[in-house]
Amino acid sequence: MDRIRLTGGNPLNGEIPISGAKNAALPLMIASLLTDEPLVLTNVPRLTDIATLARLLAELGVEIEVLNSSGAWETLTTPIEGRLTLANEQARRLAGFGPDATYKPGGRTLRLTARTIASTHADYDLVSKMRASFWVLGPLLARCGHADVSLPGGCAIGTRPVDLHLQGMEKLGATIELDKGYVIAAAKDGLKGAEVRFSMPSVGATHNVLMAAVLADGVTRIENAAREPEITNLADCLNAMGAKIEGLGTSTLTVTGVERLHGAEVAVVCDRIEAGTYAMAAAMTGGDVTLSGVDASLFEAALQALTAAGVDVDVTPADNTIRIRRNGTALSPVDIVTQPYPAFPTDLQAQFMALMTMADGNAQMTETIFENRFMHVQELARLGALISLHGDRAIVSGVKSLRGAPVMATDLRASVSLVIAGLAAEGETVISRVYHLDRGFERLEDKLSACGADISRLPG
């Protein structure tokens, strides 16, 4: 397995282009299952999660093409035994490790066409690698009337049950059975509009039920829906495809079902989590970094926390840029509580904790979303951080300095918290199991080294 080696102490200075959001690109790709016409997605990031989902979609019958450097469409999927498949080399290209692996700002453009659904079976081998794969359940039910989808996998940061997904499908008229680790769903007479109220604003369940409802017969009202920008990106895409969704950006979505959807071209929204991560990295090193291609309104809570910590945050909406500066002054401790959007995101908790390890005082991190999202604490402690755990709270006592050490990534966001800490630590830090990073951060070492970080990848 690859590792990342870095030597801390260099302030970050320069510009970091922000990629398209993984958490938006994945449901947008899945939406291609809802129509037999092409769906074109721009600003798609180069990530292993993108490649994993592409493999699954190919198995289901989606033809995947990429716009190459000469401006021509290149088909990545090939037919095999009545289905489509994505070869290892093609998957590596989607993940940013193929022949054109040199990082270039601006995401890929993909064209996905599901002329026919070759299979409604989503296999364990693929779904177990990434939780978002489970979201094919809704589109397959809506278009084909049946689906059998493996229960999901992904980062080990909590149980994250799929109960809300299944309850939503049952409200829409589907029958659900669980058999040998698979969800067997059927809607013989098609899905019907209904009232769906979530007990909590689940992002995954909102994605899944929303995609099912657009082809249901009648009106569906989704109450306590998640409000994340990635939900709005998906709803905008579905509306561009001919769906009728109202209430975008609110906790109540009203969907009037239509008979069919058509093709469309949609841009993947910028990655607010990546932007927040690099903002915290710049603050950690006392640098001066401009984030480009980013909408600051998508992560205001995180920027407010940085400002409270004593970091200069200058937003220029007209240019889609944010300048992050810290001139060496001490960081102030800031307490945060992770909550659903638009509050402080759980996906930035580990990164902010890394920043607070060198604050002048004690900061409290309260995690309300996932019950097992403090696994990075022990690895930060290896770098000299002082952190005590109290149930869903972590008390971070700032130290004068961190020291480099070998550490191990435990999940996607925890991985990058170790990078942030290592950027400021004295000496060398080597991070193993960085495949987690490749799932959600496009060419992280290239972006950081361009701003002066002493960071490199060690092939496994």
400 annotated to a ligand binding site? no
Q: Is residue 399 part of a domain?
A: yes
Task: Tell me what the mean pLDDT of segment 293-300 comes to.
Answer: 97
- By mean pLDDT, which of 96-100, 125-129, 202-206 is the weakest? 96-100
Task: Say if CB 185 and CB 148 are below 8 A apart.
Answer: yes
372 and 434 assigned to the same domain: yes
Confidence of residue 238 (pLDDT cuts 50, 70, 90): very high
198 and 337 assigned to the same domain: no
What is the per-residue pLDDT for 436?
Answer: 86
Share of the chain above pLDDT 90, in %: 85
- By mean pLDDT, which of 10-14, 106-110, 141-145, 172-176 is the weakest? 106-110
Number of helices (H) and strands (E), helices first, in the chain?
A: 15, 27
Is pLDDT of 44 > 60? yes
Is pLDDT of 451 > 90? yes
* Per-residue pLDDT tens over the stretch 401-447: 999 999 998 887 778 999 999 999 999 999 999 888 999 999 999 99
Confidence of residue 101 (pLDDT cuts 50, 70, 90): low
Is pLDDT of 159 > 50? no
Confidence of residue 153 (pLDDT cuts 50, 70, 90): low
189 exposed, middle or buried (CB, 10 Å; 0-12, 13-18, 19+)?
Answer: exposed
Q: Is residue 341 part of a domain?
A: yes
Q: Is residue 105 part of a domain?
A: yes
162 annotated to a ligand binding site? yes
Task: Tell me what the mean pLDDT of segment 227-241 comes to.
Answer: 98
22 annotated to a ligand binding site? yes
* Per-residue pLDDT tens over the stretch 168-179: 999 999 999 999
Q: Is residue 20 part of a domain?
A: no
What is the per-residue pLDDT for 100?
Answer: 62
**Domain residue limits at 153:** 25-267
Phi, psi of 241 (to 5 degrees): -85, 0
d(CA 107, CA 46): 7
Inter-axis angle of helices 163-171 and 137-144, nearest 10:
20
Domain termination site, one of 267, 288, 313 = 267
80 annotated to a ligand binding site? no
382 and 451 assigned to the same domain: yes
255 annotated to a ligand binding site? no
Enclosing H/E stretch for 379: helix 376-382
Confidence of residue 69 (pLDDT cuts 50, 70, 90): confident
Task: Tell me what the mean pLDDT of segment 270-297 comes to.
Answer: 97
156 and 294 assigned to the same domain: no
What is the per-residue pLDDT for 228?
Answer: 98
What is the per-residue pLDDT for 154?
Answer: 44
261 and 342 assigned to the same domain: no
Is pLDDT of 115 > 50? yes
> 218: helix, coil or strand?
coil
243 and 355 assigned to the same domain: no
Task: Tell me what the mean pLDDT of segment 452-457 comes to.
Answer: 97
Closest CA to 16 of 133, 135, 108, 103: 103
Q: Is residue 353 part of a domain?
A: yes
What is the per-residue pLDDT for 258?
Answer: 98
233 annotated to a ligand binding site? no
For 48, half-sphere exposure in the C-beta direction (CA atoms, 13 angstrom radius) is 14
Task: Say if CB 309 and CB 374 are below 8 A apart.
Answer: no
142 and 10 assigned to the same domain: no
312 annotated to a ligand binding site? no
347 annotated to a ligand binding site? yes
What is the per-residue pLDDT for 102?
Answer: 66
Task: Tell me what the mean pLDDT of segment 273-298 comes to.
Answer: 97
CATH of the domain at 320: 3.65.10.10
174 and 206 assigned to the same domain: yes
Domain termination site, one of 240, 267, 294 = 267
* Per-residue pLDDT tens over the stretch 199-228: 999 999 999 999 999 999 999 999 999 999
Task: Give whichever of 266-275, 324-333, 429-438 has the largest mean pLDDT.
Answer: 266-275
- By mean pLDDT, which of 178-182, 236-240, 254-258 is the weakest? 178-182
- The catalytic residue positions are 155
Task: Tell me what the mean pLDDT of segment 48-60 comes to.
Answer: 96
Confidence of residue 157 (pLDDT cuts 50, 70, 90): very low
160 annotated to a ligand binding site? yes
Instruction: Answer whether the bond into residue 406 is a cis peptide, omega within 30°.
Output: no
Cβ of 456: how many Cβ atoms within 10 Å?
12
Domain termination site, one of 216, 234, 267 = 267
**81: Cβ contacts below 8 Å, ≥ 6 apart:** none
Q: Is residue 279 part of a domain?
A: yes
238 annotated to a ligand binding site? no
Q: Is residue 288 part of a domain?
A: yes
What is the per-residue pLDDT for 459?
Answer: 87
160 and 284 assigned to the same domain: no
Number of domains, the chain = 2
Confidence of residue 99 (pLDDT cuts 50, 70, 90): low
Q: Is residue 364 part of a domain?
A: yes
Q: Report the mean per-residue pLDDT for the chain.
A: 94
374 and 297 assigned to the same domain: yes
- By mean pLDDT, which of 86-95, 97-106, 174-183, 228-237 is the weakest? 97-106
190 and 322 assigned to the same domain: no
251 and 384 assigned to the same domain: no
Strand partners, 312: 325
Is pLDDT of 54 > 50? yes
What is the per-residue pLDDT for 410?
Answer: 84
